[in-house]
Amino acid sequence: MIIPKENRLTEEQEKELKEITSEFGIKLQTIKGDIRTIYAMVGDERNTLLIKRVEGLSYIDRVDTIQKPYKLMAKDNELASHRIMAGGKVIGNGHFTVIAGHCTIDHNNPQFFLETAHAVKEAGGDIIRGGVWKPRTSPYSFQGTLKNLDILMEAKAQTGLPVDTEVMDSEQLKAALDAGVDMLQVGARNALNYGLLKEIGQQVHGRDTVVLLKRGMHMGGVDEFILAAEYIVSAGCPNIVLTPRGTQPTMDGYRNHPDESITLLLKERTWAPVLVDPSHSVGKAAYVPFAALAAAAYGADGLIIESHVNPTHGIGDDPKQAVKPEVLATIIRDARAIHEMLRPTLKKITASAA
Ligand code: PEP
Ligand code: MN
């Protein structure tokens, strides 16, 4: 990583730097934070000749070649001061952000989604979620449809709240960005799809769009999750949110193995806001409030919850795991109270961590 003397380089300085790094077969990737721009070298940057050349430039402070598994996501990276905002709503930074809405939008019954969107706003939610396209286990199940994108954007227009949806390929990514979706979700099934992670990072580069990365259901160590996020950030998008959502179940009962407790570890190691998904973790509406409050107690910066005005008429996961808006309102109130109560303690723990 190249550390310039000023917060960012001029166009000519950047051009010169690019020429030097490319002589050594290294790509210079810029990542624009709201305060600083980070200049990352993609490739083996430990070439002493290269380091000498770069450090010899009058506008460069130093080259940081510390070999950690992840660099940009690390707590001590300058991106830690980068503020993440989705459609004008602050994420993290002391605010407890709540995303809520349908698992899946039903284009045959758009009124349900619009009613839910208003109810989410009423309940105190910040961002509306709605699946336009869905990753389904069976190729014969409803896969979502582009028509849902209009309904999602209608909900944004009516409520004034930002919107979130999952994208699984380039075509969906382009459609969502063109429509003005504020937050793109990378689902658990694609959390290790490095090609997609890179492409999302590249396409979001220079935009305010936020990427919410779910923890893959087969992921092991915490660092594997952080490294997946590093793919997105190193491709140019610093607006990243981490979402534990349960991993492959190791016992009967819950849909997945609840993993909200890894929030503390993520917060010790990285600067990224952590928004926990209790819905897919426990997988049953009645359990969701408990998992949601546990996530707040483990230091989450917020939640992403499936909610529906009429879950039995929902599709996808909604009949099983969506909570009604009145339950959502209680969760939001109680989780924010827990967050406030524990904030000073959490600050001490994460500040002193390695
Ligand atoms: C979802 O959010 O509806 C979803 C499919 O999530 P996950 O990728 O966590 O399974
Ligand atoms: Mn779902």
The residue segments making up the domain with residue 342 are: 81-352
Give Cα separations from 232 to 56, 100, 229, 303, 311 (angstroms).
30, 24, 5, 21, 34
Render 69-131 in DSSP notation, one character per residue.
S-STTBTTSGGGGPPEEETTEEESTT--EEEEE-SS--TT-HHHHHHHHHHHHHTT-SEEE--
At residue 339, the pLDDT reads: 98
Q: How far is the CA of 23 from the centre of ligand 1 (A)?
A: 43
Q: Examine the domain organization and report whether 32 and 115 are in the same domain.
A: no
Residues 119, 101: Cα–Cα separation, whole Å: 9
> Ligand 1: does its nearest atom lie under 6 Å from the Cβ of 245?
yes
Q: Examine the domain organization and report whether 49 and 147 are in the same domain.
A: no
Shortest-distance atom of ligand 1 to CA 104:
3
Q: Which amino acid is at 224?
A: E
Q: Examine the domain organization and report whether 54 and 89 are in the same domain.
A: no
Q: How far is the CA of 267 from the centre of ligand 1 (A)?
A: 22
**pLDDT (tens place) for every residue of the chain, 354 residues total:** 888 999 889 999 999 999 999 998 889 989 888 888 889 888 777 788 888 899 899 999 888 876 678 999 999 999 999 999 999 999 998 999 999 999 999 999 999 999 999 999 999 999 999 999 999 999 999 999 999 999 999 999 999 999 999 999 999 999 999 999 999 999 999 999 999 999 999 999 999 999 999 999 999 899 999 999 999 999 999 999 999 999 999 889 999 999 999 999 999 999 999 999 999 999 999 999 999 999 999 999 999 999 999 999 999 999 999 999 999 999 999 999 999 999 999 888 777 544
Q: How far is the CA of 238 from the centre of ligand 2 (A)?
A: 25
Tokens of 302: 């917020």
What CATH number did the domain enclosing 199 receive?
3.20.20.70
Mutate to test the pocket of ligand 1, among 127, 167, 277, 288 (most ligand atoms within 8 A of CB): 277
> Ligand 1: does its nearest atom lie under 6 Å from the Cβ of 135?
yes
What CATH number did the domain enclosing 17 receive?
3.30.70
> Ligand 1: does its nearest atom lie under 6 Å from the Cβ of 102?
no
Q: Which of 28, 45, 67 is a domain's end point?
A: 67
Question: Which ligand is nearest to the Cα of residue 212, counting in written order?
Answer: 1
Q: Which of 37, 67, 97 is a domain's end point?
A: 67
Q: Which amino acid is at 9?
A: L
Residue 75 in any domain: the answer is no
Residue 73 in any domain: the answer is no
Measured between its terminal Cα atoms, the distance across the chain in Å is 20
Q: Examine the domain organization and report whether 181 and 219 are in the same domain.
A: yes
Confirm whether pTM is higher than 0.85: yes
At residue 354, the pLDDT reads: 40
Q: Whose CA is nearest to atom 10 of ligand 1?
A: 188
Residue 74 in any domain: the answer is no
Residue 262 in any domain: the answer is yes
Residue 285 in any domain: the answer is yes
Q: Examine the domain organization and report whether 61 and 87 are in the same domain.
A: no
Tokens of 166: 């999952």
Q: Which of 67, 92, 122 is a domain's end point?
A: 67
Residues 322, 288: Cα–Cα separation, whole Å: 9
Q: Examine the domain organization and report whether 258 and 215 are in the same domain.
A: yes
Count of structural domains, the chain:
2
Q: Examine the domain organization and report whether 196 and 305 are in the same domain.
A: yes
Mutate to test the pocket of ligand 1, among 103, 143, 184 (most ligand atoms within 8 A of CB): 103
Residue 281 in any domain: the answer is yes
Q: Examine the domain organization and report whether 185 and 285 are in the same domain.
A: yes
Q: Examine the domain organization and report whether 23 and 159 are in the same domain.
A: no
Mutate to test the pocket of ligand 1, among 104, 128, 164, 166 (most ligand atoms within 8 A of CB): 166
Q: Which amino acid is at 112?
A: F
Tokens of 237: 């998008």
> Ligand 1: does its nearest atom lie under 6 Å from the Cβ of 215?
no
Q: Examine the domain organization and report whether 175 and 299 are in the same domain.
A: yes
> Ligand 1: does its nearest atom lie under 6 Å from the Cβ of 130?
no
Residue 173 in any domain: the answer is yes
Residues 213, 267: Cα–Cα separation, whole Å: 15
Render 281-333 in DSSP notation, one character per residue.
HH-SGGGHHHHHHHHHHTT-SEEEEEB-SSGGG--TTHHHHPBPHHHHHHHHH
Shortest-distance atom of ligand 1 to CA 245:
9
> Ligand 1: does its nearest atom lie under 6 Å from the Cβ of 255?
no
Q: Examine the domain organization and report whether 317 and 253 are in the same domain.
A: yes
Shortest-distance atom of ligand 1 to CA 103:
3
Q: Examine the domain organization and report whether 117 and 252 are in the same domain.
A: yes
Residue 72 in any domain: the answer is no
> Ligand 1: does its nearest atom lie under 6 Å from the Cβ of 153?
no
